[in-house]
């Protein structure tokens, strides 16, 4: 049987590939793993591989970060050489980071079957680099593995052949369900003196939120106000830490002791924190999904989302970036009036099994290229 080549670049990719890797292992499908290195170092990469049970990458491109053009170009050149040396039967990409687009371009140009896990998600905001990546990858992909009905509808409206689309559910939820017991066993909230349901978790990393000083300070003011009512644990993404600077971080620690600035967390420690939180405030797409799966109110600090099912079905509320709107919605949650949702269909911990079934059938010779 021909092998599957997984290309991963950033932390969300690792969580999505881990359950798929295990599902394909059970089917004895040969696999290789390429890490582009967009997220690198121990805090942002190494610990995630160990926690998720992923093997060391077969190839580490070590490209680091950069502009959109730099990131894509730095991945394409060595990845093209890798495909020439070890041509796979299928290239599998996940999500919407620059490495995903680069891998899709290389696979399509090489004529290798291309599968996109988490296809069809749309924010309809073309100012977001991730939105352009999603649209372009979906246009090139032979197999479109979608997590929700809205994603399928987006693809059909854009003209994708129904034969290319496979409704599989959410592989991020697979990882969450598999690792939640181990995460809870860490007891991170208890170690920090935080009672279950008695604190909030906040994350910020998107350029539109952290690169604009006015927007960033407005968001911080809302978090500081909330931290006077209950502790707010705030793991600092490297980008956010750099924008704040050491002096501003120290000032926040002095002025708002309830706002606990902590380093980036590994997957299991962060899941341990999020799983027992009263509410989560974030600009992360993946965390919108995880909070919906956990049944925890989520306030998304953005004007749009590529995961609308977390709003229409789940626990997510789009509050934007205006501090007053954030304060008001947070107060609703604290009064017990926060949004209650349910877990979307097929977010059952078996999405990776469904993806693996599709891959195994194709690589086993039961079907030809799926492009329609």
DSSP string, 268-317: HHHHHHHHT-SEEEE--HHHHHHHHHHT--EEE-SS--S-THHHHTSSEE
| 7-16, 160-169, 192-201, 299-308: least confident range | 7-16
| 51-55, 118-122, 248-252, 258-262: least confident range | 51-55
Q: Is 205 a catalytic residue?
A: yes
pLDDT in the model for residue 367: 36
pLDDT beyond 80 at 41: no
pLDDT in the model for residue 38: 65
- Taking the C-alpha atoms of residue 174 and residue 347, their distance in angstroms, rounded to an integer, is 8
pLDDT in the model for residue 94: 97
What value does the mean pLDDT of the chain take? 93
- Taking the C-alpha atoms of residue 177 and residue 352, their distance in angstroms, rounded to an integer, is 12
Q: What is the mean pLDDT of the segment spanning 3-20?
A: 93
Its pTM stands at 0.92
DSSP states of 124-141: --TTSHHHHHHHHHHHH-
pLDDT beyond 90 at 67: no
CATH number of 4-170+348-363: 3.40.50.2000
pLDDT in the model for residue 49: 79
Whole-number percent of the chain with pLDDT over 70: 95
Q: What is the mean pLDDT of the segment spanning 239-250?
A: 95
4-170+348-363 and 177-334 have identical folds: yes
Helix or strand or coil: residue 104?
Answer: helix
pLDDT beyond 80 at 300: yes
Active-site choice (35, 179, 205, 237): 205
**pLDDT tens for residues 47-63?**
777 888 889 999 998 87
pLDDT in the model for residue 46: 58
Confidence of residue 357 (pLDDT cuts 50, 70, 90): very high
- Taking the C-alpha atoms of residue 310 and residue 344, their distance in angstroms, rounded to an integer, is 8
Confidence of residue 371 (pLDDT cuts 50, 70, 90): very low
- Taking the C-alpha atoms of residue 167 and residue 218, their distance in angstroms, rounded to an integer, is 39
Q: What angle do CA 305, 106, 169 make, to 5 degrees?
A: 40
For the chain, the structural domain boundaries read 4-170+348-363, 177-334
**pLDDT tens for residues 81-113?**
999 999 999 999 999 999 999 999 999 999 999
CATH topology of domain 177-334: Rossmann fold (3.40.50)
Whole-number percent of the chain with pLDDT over 90: 85
């Amino acid at each position: 049987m021909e092998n599957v080549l997984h290309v991963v670049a950033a932390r969300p990719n690792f969580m999505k590939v881990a359950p798929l890797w295990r599902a394909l292992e059970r089917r004895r499908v040969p696999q290789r793993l390429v890490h582009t290195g967009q997220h690198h170092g121990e805090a942002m990469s190494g610990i995630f591989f160990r926690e998720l049970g992923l093997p060391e990458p077969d190839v580490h491109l070590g490209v680091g970060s950069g502009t959109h053009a730099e990131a894509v170009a730095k991945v394409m050149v060595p990845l093209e050489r890798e495909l020439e040396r070890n041509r796979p039967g299928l290239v599998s990409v996940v999500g919407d980071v620059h490495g995903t687009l680069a891998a899709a371009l290389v696979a399509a140009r090489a004529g290798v079957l291309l599968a996109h896990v988490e296809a069809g998600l749309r924010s309809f905001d073309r100012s977001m680099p991730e939105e352009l990546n999603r649209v372009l990858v979906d246009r090139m992909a032979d197999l479109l593995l979608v997590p929700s009905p809205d994603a399928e509808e987006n693809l059909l409206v854009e003209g994708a052949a129904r034969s290319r689309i496979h409704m599989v559910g959410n592989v991020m939820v697979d990882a969450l369900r598999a690792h939640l017991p181990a995460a809870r066993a860490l007891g991170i909230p208890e170690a920090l003196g935080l009672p279950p349901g008695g604190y909030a978790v906040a994350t910020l990393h998107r350029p539109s939120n952290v690169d604009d000083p006015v927007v960033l300070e407005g968001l911080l003011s809302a978090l500081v106000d909330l931290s006077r009512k209950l502790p707010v644990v705030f793991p600092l993404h490297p980008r956010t830490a750099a924008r704040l600077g050491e002096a501003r971080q120290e000032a926040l620690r002095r002025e708002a002791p309830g706002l606990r600035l902590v380093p980036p967390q590994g997957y299991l420690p962060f899941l341990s924190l999020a799983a027992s939180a009263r509410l989560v405030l974030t600009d992360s797409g993946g965390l919108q999904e995880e909070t919906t799966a956990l049944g925890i109110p989520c306030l998304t600090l953005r004007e749009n989302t590529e995961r609308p099912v977390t709003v229409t079905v789940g626990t997510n509320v789009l509050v934007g970036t205006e501090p007053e709107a954030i304060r008001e919605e947070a107060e609703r949650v604290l009064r017990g009036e926060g949004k209650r949702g349910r877990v979307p269909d097929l977010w059952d911990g078996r999405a990776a099994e469904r993806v693996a079934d599709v891959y195994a059938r194709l690589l086993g010779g039961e079907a030809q290229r799926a492009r329609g």
